[in-house]
Amino acid sequence: SVSVREPVWTLMKMALWPLLLVLVGSASAELEVVNQWNLFDFDIPFGYPTNENYSTSQSPSTGLEVGWDRLFLALPRFMPGAPLTLAFIPRNQPGGYGELSPKLQPYPSWDWHRDASAGQVGGEYNCTGLVSVFRARQDRCNRLWVLDSGVLDSLVNFRVACPPKILIFDLTTDALVRSITMPPEVLRPNTLLTNLALDDQNDDGGQGYGSCDNTYVYMSDTTNPGIVVYDARRDAAWRLGNPAFFPEPDWGT
């Protein structure tokens, strides 16, 4: 278990349509469109639980992570019925012939998203699957760190279905290698963790060396301004607070 050290909710609406993913050409310094969408489309299998009132316009992306062979997109469940919350597409190369607007594929599989899509998370249900992902980051050891807020329908009724957690996947096998649930002592009522940064203590700035578990993870709490820090090597978490984290620092506590 994680040990703990103690040392008017707002969400900005995101106008991300159309979303353009661009790559800077090193030679010409010109921007080239690699992928683009007006609205995301999903490769949903037959029989998958869906909501008839759901529209793809309700699934904006809040985070993009460029992997070695894939692009990962975080799509928080702002509204009821979103079929998935973390997706990927193959990574196109500049000047290549990949599909410009491919359907999004679930990461790591549809099974990880099914329960939340059906509303069967929290309460009498378990919290092992993906609930609502805001960000994902890849480390130098080819692993994907996924920040799951645990909050469903955050623009409608803000249902805290599960505690926030970090899931670490091996991108070679897409298998889960570690799951960390944030302890209640570092959370506040209606906490919404929306961003994360990885601080690899063994990275020498080049190829890096040693274990990628010697990493600090910094997560921002959007609704209760603060920073939650997780030490992956020591399996310890704590919270930092400062008036500067508030929209109006002079009124922060």
Q: Which amino acid is at 97?
A: Y
Residue 172: burial class (beta carbons within 10 Å; 0-12, 13-18, 19+): exposed
What is the band of 7 on the pLDDT scale with cuts at 50, 70, 90?
A: very low
Q: Return the HEC string of the chain.
A: CCEEECCCCCCCCCCCCCEEEEEECCCCCCEEEEEEECCCCECCCCCCCCCCCCCHHHCCCCEEEECCCEEEEECCCCCCCCCCCEEEEECCCCCCCCCCCCCEEECCCCHHHHHHHCCCCCCCCCCCCCCCEEEEEECCCCEEEEEECCEECCCCCCEECCCCEEEEEECCCCEEEEEEECCHHHCCCCCCEEEEEEEECCCCCCCCCCCCCCEEEEEEECCCCEEEEEECCCCEEEEECCHHHCCCHHHCC
Q: Tell me the C-alpha to C-alpha distance, in Å, between residue 165 and each of 81, 88, 98, 194.
A: 21, 20, 34, 11
What's the pTM? 0.83
Closest listed residue to residue 67, CA positions, set 198, 209, 150, 172: 172
Give the percent of the chain with pLDDT over 90.
56
CA 53 to chain CA mean position, Å: 24
Q: Could you tell me the domains of the chain? A: 3-251 (2.120.10.30)
Note the pLDDT tens digit of each residue in 28-65.
467 888 888 999 999 899 989 888 878 888 889 999 99
The C-alpha atoms of residue 8 and residue 6 are separated, in whole angstroms, by 25
Q: How far apart are the first and last CA of the chain?
A: 30
Note the pLDDT tens digit of each residue in 184-225.
999 999 999 999 999 998 866 555 567 788 999 999 999 999
Note the pLDDT tens digit of each residue in 89-110.
998 766 556 788 999 999 999 9
Residue 235, token pair as written in the block: 């399996």
Structure-token match 């790559």, residue found: 23
Phi-psi region at 153: left, alpha or beta (left = phi > 0; alpha = psi -120 to 50): left
CB atoms under 10 Å from CB of 130, counted, come to 27
Is 116:84 a contact under the CB 8 Å cutoff? no
> Rg of the chain's alpha carbons, rounded to an integer?
19
Residue 19: predicted pLDDT: 42
- Average pLDDT of the chain to the nearest whole number: 84
Residue 205: predicted pLDDT: 59
